[in-house]
Amino acid sequence: MKTTKLTLLLLAAMLVGVCIGFYANSAIIRARINRFSQLPANMPEHLTNRLTQRLDLNADQQREIRKIFQAHGVRMREAREQNRALIDALIEEARQDIAQHLTPEQQEEHKKMLIELRERIRNDQATRRALSASPVNHSPAGHPK
């Protein structure tokens, strides 16, 4: 009888622990989604509005600054893509160098690890794309309404 009560108490404590863990994990995920979803969809407009608010820009200044942000945004994307290609090449070179020092069994496990990593990166990218595609209304200060 005493053992049954102790077992039930232990199971109840485990169940409470699992529920708390699940709730904490969901809260963390919700917080991350909220943080990503608060990014302005139109960054040049957002930055121009922020500068207008702080610097009291007139309409002509706003127009010119918006153009500058748009032009530099294109160049920044191009630079990011070029750097991404360079970083990918360096990562691949490092992976090949690592593989030379592994046993055949370790190489197989390393390949599995890399496949898992690529899948996780794909999932993260898909999540970011989904979040950036979701419509979010922003006030002039860039905060969601």
Q: Which domain holds residue 130?
A: 108-135
Classify residue 117: in a domain, yes or no: yes
pLDDT at 132: 64
Count of the separate structural domains present in the chain? 1
Cβ proximity of 137 and 145 under 8 Å: yes
Residue 86: which region, alpha, beta or left (left: phi > 0; alpha: psi -120 to 50)? alpha
32 vs 3, residue with greater confidence: 3
Bridge partners, residue 144, by sequence: 138
pLDDT at 142: 43
Nearest to 57 by CA among 46, 65, 68: 65
Quick check: 72 pLDDT over 70?
A: yes
pLDDT at 133: 63
Classify residue 123: in a domain, yes or no: yes
Classify residue 129: in a domain, yes or no: yes
Cα gap 55→52, rounded to integer Å: 5
Average pLDDT score, the chain: 81
Classify residue 66: in a domain, yes or no: no
- pLDDT bucket at 64, cuts 50 / 70 / 90: very high
